[in-house]
């Protein structure tokens, strides 16, 4: 197996990007990544795109072809990869394997999602399909509920406190405050997390992640 290196990167701002569709996001960060790599566009040999349920969120199922066409990279092989929250990671893994094996020398890895163009009810249902819909989501076990049960078990086994869980959110928001690409860029306090409304006990509103869209 050969050594593999990342030679360029691009990233769009996270958030409710009402001004942009998947095409615009692909262009925004894809061109940035190719430019950063300082390589001729035509030297790219394949594309791997990670995305969860784009057909249900944006009615765009065939992202492999869409990304290649939008970036002017047809007719190179372009594959969409889906693994729920791990979609981007699995796309990166597939690209790594293709270069390490010697199949390709230069590939583009992308990840794109836009979850805010549907109602909250629809988004909850779509996200529920990332779990076991028949045994979990169908009976009301949304992801906040599932993670709340995991948190309760962790608290039971390790005596973790709600304050300790809340500190994770405080840390994450502080990191977001320092990151110009983050959805939220406002630091929060421990007291604000603990006093926010309960979503699924012991998880509160400021413990939970928002729905963002992005391209990388």
pLDDT tens digits for range 109-166: 999 988 888 888 888 889 888 889 899 988 888 889 999 999 999 999 999 999 999 9
215 lies in a domain? no
Q: CA 79, CA 13: separation in Å to the nearest integer?
A: 24
Asked whether residue 215 carries a pLDDT value surpassing 50, the answer given is no
Strand partners for 108: 47
Tell me what pLDDT residue 212 has: 65
14 lies in a domain? no
Class of residue 156 by CB neighbours under 10 A (exposed 0-12, middle 13-18, buried 19+): exposed
89 lies in a domain? yes
Q: Does the annotation count 208 as an active-site position?
A: no
Same structural domain for residues 134 and 90? Answer: no
Tell me what pLDDT residue 214 has: 43
Question: Can you give the CATH number for the domain in which 30 is found?
Answer: 3.40.47.10
Residue 68 near residue 47 (C-beta atoms within 8 A): yes
Same structural domain for residues 164 and 197? Answer: yes
Tell me what pLDDT residue 69 has: 94
124 lies in a domain? yes
Helix (H) / strand (E) containing 148: helix 143-158
17 lies in a domain? no
Residue 67 near residue 47 (C-beta atoms within 8 A): yes
User: What token pair was written down for 163?
Assistant: 């304050």
The residue annotated as part of the active site, out of 6, 7, 85, 167, is 85
Helix (H) / strand (E) containing 143: helix 143-158
pLDDT, tens digit (0-9, with 9 covering 90-100), for 13-29 = 888 888 888 888 888 89
Give the residue numbers spanning the domain of 138: 120-209
Asked whether residue 213 carries a pLDDT value surpassing 60, the answer given is no
pLDDT, tens digit (0-9, with 9 covering 90-100), for 26-48 = 888 999 999 999 999 899 999 99
pTM: 0.85
Same structural domain for residues 175 and 105? Answer: no
Q: Out of 113, 128, 156, pick the residue that ends a domain.
A: 113
Tell me what pLDDT residue 91 has: 96
Same structural domain for residues 53 and 68? Answer: yes
Q: Out of 84, 113, 142, pick the residue that ends a domain.
A: 113
Same structural domain for residues 204 and 140? Answer: yes
Residue range 82-89: mean pLDDT, rounded: 93
Q: Work out how many domains the chain is built from and give that number.
A: 2
Same structural domain for residues 147 and 182? Answer: yes
Percent of the chain having pLDDT more than 70?
A: 98
């Amino acid at each position: 197996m050969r050594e593999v290196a990342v030679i360029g990167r691009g990233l769009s701002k996270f958030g409710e990007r009402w001004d942009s569709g998947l095409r615009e996001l692909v262009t925004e960060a894809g061109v940035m990544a190719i430019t950063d790599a300082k390589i001729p566009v035509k030297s790219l040999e394949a594309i791997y795109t990670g995305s969860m349920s784009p057909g249900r969120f944006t009615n765009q199922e065939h992202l492999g072809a869409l990304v290649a066409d939008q970036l002017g990279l047809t007719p190179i092989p372009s594959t969409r990869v889906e693994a729920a929250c791990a979609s981007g990671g699995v796309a990166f893994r597939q690209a790594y394997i293709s270069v390490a094996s010697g199949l390709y020398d230069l590939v583009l890895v992308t990840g794109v999602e836009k979850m805010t163009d549907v109602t909250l009810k629809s988004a909850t249902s779509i996200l529920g399909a990332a779990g076991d819909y028949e045994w979990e989501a169908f009976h009301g076990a949304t992801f906040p509920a599932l993670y709340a049960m995991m948190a309760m078990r962790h608290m039971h086994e390790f005596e973790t406190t709600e304050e300790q869980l809340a500190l994770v959110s405080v840390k994450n928001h502080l990191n977001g405050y320092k990151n110009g690409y983050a959805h939220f860029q406002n630091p929060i306090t421990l007291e604000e997390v603990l006093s926010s409304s309960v979503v699924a006990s012991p998880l509160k509103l400021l413990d939970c992640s928002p729905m963002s869209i992005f391209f990388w």
